């Protein structure tokens, strides 16, 4: 019946700040749909940014910046990814640590975006 995820809406306080973080820090490609609608591309899936003070409808019942807990796959070894974060001055909250992903064992590091959303960056465990 269902085949995958097309997009996930991320509620943010400032689209420009979120675009900078997700493109510069995480390397996501940016697609501007219009001034209020921005997609951050993960392959054929998008993180769609909605700013809190816009009137895009429909929206979730309680759109709240900082309430997301998201795990993203990384192609780099996590030690290299952590070095990239260090160069940019981005704090790693935890990791690398062993976790269980959707398809088996993973190794993860945790950080936060500018709105406080928890981002888990993972790779398959060795």
Residue 1 domain flag = no
Task: State the total domains in the chain.
Answer: 1
Confirm whether 102 is domain-assigned: yes
Domain that holds residue 117: 7-124
In a domain, 88, yes or no: yes
CATH code where residue 112 lies: 3.10.180.10
Which residues in the chain come in under a pLDDT of 70? none
Whether the model clears a pTM of 0.85, i.e. scores above it, the answer is yes
Q: Report pLDDT for 35.
A: 73
Q: Are 13 and 54 in contact (CB under 8 A)?
A: no
CA 1 to chain centre: 26
pLDDT of residue 59: 84
Does 116 reside within a domain?
Answer: yes
* Structural domain includes residue 2: no
pLDDT tens per residue, range 32-49: 988 778 999 999 999 999
Residue 120 designated active-site: yes
Residue 91 domain-assigned?
A: yes
Q: What is the pLDDT of residue 101?
A: 96
């Amino acid at each position: 019946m269902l085949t995958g995820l097309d997009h996930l809406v991320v509620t943010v306080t400032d689209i420009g700040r979120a675009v900078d973080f997700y493109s510069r820090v995480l390397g996501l490609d940016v697609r501007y749909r219009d001034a209020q609608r921005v997609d951050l591309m993960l392959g054929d899936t998008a993180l769609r940014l909605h700013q809190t003070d816009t009137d895009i409808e429909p929206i979730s019942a309680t759109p709240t910046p900082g309430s997301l807990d998201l795990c993203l796959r990384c192609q780099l070894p996590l030690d290299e990814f952590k070095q990239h974060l260090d160069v940019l001055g981005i704090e790693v909250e935890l990791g690398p640590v062993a976790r269980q992903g959707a398809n088996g064992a993973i190794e993860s590091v945790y950080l936060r975006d500018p709105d406080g959303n928890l981002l888990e960056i993972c790779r398959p465990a060795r």
